[in-house]
Amino acid sequence: METATLGGGCFWCLDAVYSELRGVESVIAGYMGGTVPNPTYEQVCSGRTGHIEVARIEFDPAVVSYREILEVFFSIHDPTSRDRQGNDIGVQYRSVIFTHSDEQRRTAEEMIRELQPDFRAPIVTEVRRAAEFYPAEDYHQQYFARNPGQPYCGYVIAPKVAKFREKFAAKRKEPRTKPAG
């Protein structure tokens, strides 16, 4: 297993998408990159801790490559928007790839160079060495799966999930079916 840690707006969106990607074993919403140990959601939202909302993704590289993880990342958020994704504004929503190895850093930097011509504005995604990860509170975990009728889920998360499902249909996990009876 390998680990990828990504920040691309609200961690609920990343969690919802990566939970459907074949080869991903787990996704944990959390915080990384700040100065306060064990921050709370309220502290992170204040913008004073320096933390970023991230998803820590455990994946099987024999099934899905790190590059494929990043392909999904760059397709489901705006990497040209600094400290903001849509109406989510603040340093905690910045676009960042926290790398866990030199190979991940090289892959991330290479992809940014390759993708830049596809965007009108400069890609502002930061590539930083992974720091201490702090899991978010339990109510943030699998938020979309547990709250699909919540308005934010319908207006913000569902379109990203739909985009992922369309663009990466061949890489989706098999949908779970309920047992008959």
Single out the catalytic residue among 10, 13, 45, 153.
10
CA-angle at 96, arms to 68 and 21, nearest 5°: 30
Q: Is 13 a known active-site residue?
A: no
Question: What does the pLDDT read at residue 111?
Answer: 97
**What value does the mean pLDDT take over residues 36-61?**
96
> What percent of the chain is predicted at pLDDT more than 90?
93
From the list 79, 32, 82, 26, the residue with the least C-alpha distance to 52 is: 32
Question: What does the pLDDT read at residue 181?
Answer: 47
**CATH top-level class for 2-171?**
alpha beta
**Domain limits of the chain?**
2-171
Residue 179 pLDDT greater than 60, yes or no: no
Cα(93)–Cα(74) distance, integer angstroms: 15
